[in-house]
Copies of this chain bind each other. A is one copy, B any other.
Amino acid sequence: MDTLHATTAFAALSQPTRLDVFRLLVQAGKTGLLAGEIGEKLDVRQNTMSANLLVMLNAGLIRKTREGRGIRYFADMPAMADLIGFMLKDCCGGNVDECKPFLEQVACKC
Contact = CB atoms under 8 A, between A and B. Distances in A.
Contacts of A94: 29, 110
A110 B93 CA distance: 9
Interface string A15-26: 110011011001
Contacts of A87: 13, 19, 22-23, 26, 80
B7 A15 contact: yes
Q: How big is chain A's contact interface, by range?
A: 35 or more
Interface string A51-93: 0000000000000000000000000011011101111111111
B78 A105 contact: yes
A6 interface: yes
